[in-house]
């Protein structure tokens, strides 16, 4: 944990107002470590709280007593077997335990803000601060001004007029805003769906006039700033050289960030291509199996065809060319024909 975070973490222990400010962020408890809640899914026993923070039972009792008013406000209370709530949690209690102190989620979190020597409590406080820091940074990145919408519209029009794709224009805009391309696309999609297009949004809110005025003021401010910097640089060459070095470093950092964004996008594209290839391989396998099945069916049909042709030839031979000898009278034999017997007792006619 950095020095600043350590200093801020101490504020949890020292300042009740800081504890009250973060008391509703009970979701961090489960993210730091699994909670052993009672069957009502709302409370823990003092013993379970001690096990969660890996401290002695008496340590938790001391914290609850020192800050009794705070914990009463959080809902800490003691019940016995005559209270209605007892029957909701008695299954998790030891045999013969008829009195239990219930510690709700907020109170569990407050204990973590107050314990100094618990590693788990330190992680809870650190997590609270880091989550807050990330949330604040994400909120800053997600804020869009009307000027940003106008700028986005201009970039989209300019890039698409050059024949670039919509996604290519989004990437160009993302670099200009130093934002993730997907975040820029979501903004573009949201405004377009809600207002029809970026142009419609700009026209409805009369942003062109406002933007022109603010842009002129902004340009004037930049000119004055540049002029002042130029004058200062002329009189202080060392400062100017140092400023140049800083600008180069910032430019390098910006290029590195842009390169990282491109790499992340390429990773996503590669992942998508791999998924498509897997689907294609599955389709090919299925097709090969269908072909093999078809070949087996064709082979079977060919065999059946040969057998059928053989049977047809035999029947045709019997019908057209032969009869039983018992059915032929000697006087009725046509002249010039010779009759012979085959294995099946059929007369063959030979010229």
The band of 60, judged by pLDDT with boundaries at 50, 70 and 90, is very high
| CB-based burial label for 47 (10 Å; 0-12, 13-18, 19+) | middle
pLDDT at 79: 84
Q: Give the DSSP letter of residue 155.
A: H
Average pLDDT of span 35-49: 89
Residues in contact with 145: Cβ distance below 8 Å, sequence separation at least 6, in sequence order: none
Least reliable range by pLDDT among 41-45, 175-179, 181-185: 181-185
Closest by Cα among 299, 282, 261 to 181: 261
Pick from 108-117, 177-186, 248-257, 338-347 the range whose average pLDDT is largest.
Answer: 108-117
Quote the mean pLDDT of the chain.
75
pTM score over 0.85: no
Q: Is the pLDDT of residue 50 over 90?
A: yes
Average pLDDT of span 28-56: 90
Q: Is the pLDDT of residue 4 over 50?
A: no
Instruction: Determine what percent of the chain is predicted with pLDDT higher than 70.
Output: 69
Over the Cα atoms of the chain, what is R_g? 44
pLDDT at 108: 96
pLDDT, tens only, 183-235:
788 788 888 877 788 888 777 765 554 444 444 444 554 454 455 555 554 54
């Amino acid at each position: 944990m950095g020095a600043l975070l350590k200093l801020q973490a101490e504020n949890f222990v020292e300042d009740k107002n800081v504890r009250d400010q973060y008391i509703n962020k009970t979701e961090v408890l489960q993210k730091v470590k699994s909670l052993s809640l009672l069957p009502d899914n709302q409370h823990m026993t003092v013993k379970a709280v001690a096990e969660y923070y890996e401290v002695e039972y008496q340590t938790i009792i001391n914290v609850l007593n020192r800050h009794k008013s705070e914990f009463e406000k959080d809902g800490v209370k003691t019940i016995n077997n005559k209270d209605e709530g007892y029957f909701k949690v008695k299954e998790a209690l030891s045999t013969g335990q008829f009195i239990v102190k219930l510690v709700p989620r907020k109170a569990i979190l407050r204990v973590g803000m107050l314990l100094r020597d618990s590693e788990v409590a330190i992680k809870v406080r650190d997590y609270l601060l880091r989550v807050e820091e990330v949330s604040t940074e994400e909120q800053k990145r997600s804020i869009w001004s009307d000027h940003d919408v106008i700028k986005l519209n201009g970039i989209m029009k300019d890039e698409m007029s050059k024949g670039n794709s919509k996604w290519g224009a989004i990437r160009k805009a993302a670099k200009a805003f130093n934002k993730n391309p997907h975040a820029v696309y979501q903004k573009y999609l949201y405004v377009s769906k809600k207002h029809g297009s970026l142009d419609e949004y700009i026209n409805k809110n009369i942003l062109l006039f406002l933007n022109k005025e603010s842009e002129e003021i902004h340009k004037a401010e930049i000119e004055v700033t540049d002029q002042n910097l130029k004058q200062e640089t002329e009189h202080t060459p060392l400062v100017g050289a140092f400023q140049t070095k800083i600008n180069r470093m910032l430019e390098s950092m910006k290029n590195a960030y842009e390169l990282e964004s491109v790499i992340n996008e390429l990773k996503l594209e590669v992942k998508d291509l791999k998924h498509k290839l897997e689907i294609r391989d599955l389709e090919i396998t299925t097709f090969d199996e269908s072909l093999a099945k078809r070949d087996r069916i064709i082979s079977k049909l060919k065999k059946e065809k040969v057998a059928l042709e053989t049977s047809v030839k035999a029947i045709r031979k019997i019908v057209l060319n032969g009869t039983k000898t018992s059915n032929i009278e000697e006087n009725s034999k046509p002249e010039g024909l010779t009759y012979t017997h085959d294995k099946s007792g059929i007369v063959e006619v030979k010229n």
